[in-house]
Copies of this chain bind each other. A is one copy, B any other.
Amino acid sequence: MNTSELFFAPVTEDIRAIEALILSQANGYQADLKAALEHLLSSGGKRIRPTLTLIIGRMLGAEKRHLLTMAAAIELLHTATLVHDDLIDGSLLRRGIPTLNAQWSPGATVLTGDFLFAKAASLAARTESIPVIQLFSETLSIIVNGEISQMFDNRCRINRDEYYKRIYAKTASLFETSAASAAMLSPVDENVIHQLAQFGYNIGMAFQILDDILDFTADQATIGKPVGGDLRQGLVTLPTILYAEHHPGDAAIEMLVKGECVQKENQLNGLIQAIQSSEAPRLALAEAKSFVARGIESIRTQPDSIERNQLIELAEYIVDRKL
């Protein structure tokens, strides 16, 4: 474990409890659902969203039982969205492990995702907090709407506003909810809920920007997919946007500016290499770090505590990670 990941250690036991709670959601249902859940949980993942929920709930004095239930609901919602995403993208591996759709029919994969959504909603309902339950279902709407926009509207376009909206829907919205829901389950006022929501939002934006940087800079073996995979799918992310701002005369960039996809393999490879060796990844990282700084700033007025320090470590880890 990297020193920057020390914030995970204090919640390890709770994370195990959450995994057990998630697995138990298949009890009494069709046997293959249990197997699917075990497989999905075994593929690891950093559990960063429930970790965020747990640390904030501890800091603010949330009731433990409801906090664990909510953290499980959030991780399960995240898992459900991945099941449908991988099916839609035709991805056969995630974190080096076969996806559900690599092994099951499309129909079975759709239904398993639906089951996980239903169980995530059930878990959220068990918190018995109407505002938390409402926030949870709104977040699912935002995530799915973002994916639909990405599918219909946002291919091969250089547009910074669209990019921010997209990564909010895709990632930051659930980070925001992971943080806000923990505060909503705690004896704190609206102002504190807002601060924690801002914290979650900002580190969520940074998290996705870093993912988008790693898509260019990590080696293929580490991320388990081809370098520049986003751009190959017509998805323009921050490194490309920043490269375009600094190299407006690049022929491939001129195509994207006109809303045309770069389809020729050699032109695409050239653009990806140009972005990799340009200043764009470094500038994008600076932008991710400024989101993290804003996130930390939003919890500045919270009393000093072990948990507040853990949140700061978690925020810094987000822009420090290599995977």
Contacts and interface: CB of A to CB of B under 8 A. Distances in A.
Could you say which of A113, A115, A121, A134 has the most chain B C-beta atoms within 10 Å of its C-beta? A121
A118 B134 contact: no
Size band of the interface chain A makes with B: 35 or more
Interface in A112-133: 112-115, 117-119, 121-122, 125-126, 128, 130, 133
B30 A108 contact: no
A84 B84 CA distance: 12
B122 A110 contact: no
A107 B88 contact: yes
Could you say which of A84, A144, A147 has the most chain B C-beta atoms within 10 Å of its C-beta? A144
A110 B112 CA distance: 12
Main secondary structure of the interface of A (DSSP, over half): helix
Given A118-B144, A121-B137, A111 B29 contact: no
B111 A137 contact: no
A161 B32 CA distance: 20
Interface stretch (A149-157, A239-247, A297-305): A149-157
A61 interface: no
A134 B153 contact: no
Nearest to A131: B125
A173 to B, nearest CB: 12
Contacts of A234: none
A145 B84 contact: no
B145 A115 contact: yes
Contact of A148 (B33, B106, B152): B33
A233 interface: no
A33 B147 CA distance: 12
A125 B114 contact: no
A256 interface: no
A148 B84 contact: no
Given A29-B141, A145-B33, A110 B134 contact: no
Nearest to A87: B110
A30 B133 contact: no
Contacts of A320: none
Given A29-B141, A111-B148, A112-B148, 18 more contacts: A29-B145, A30-B152, A84-B110, A87-B110, A88-B107, A88-B111, A105-B151, A107-B151, A108-B148, A111-B144, A113-B114, A115-B144, A118-B138, A125-B134, A125-B137, A130-B130, A130-B133, A133-B133
14 contacts: A29-B141, A29-B148, A30-B149, A33-B145, A108-B151, A110-B113, A111-B148, A115-B144, A118-B138, A121-B140, A122-B134, A122-B137, A122-B141, A130-B130
Q: What are the 3 tightest A-B residue pairs by CB atom distance, in nearest-first order?
A: A88-B107, A118-B140, A121-B137
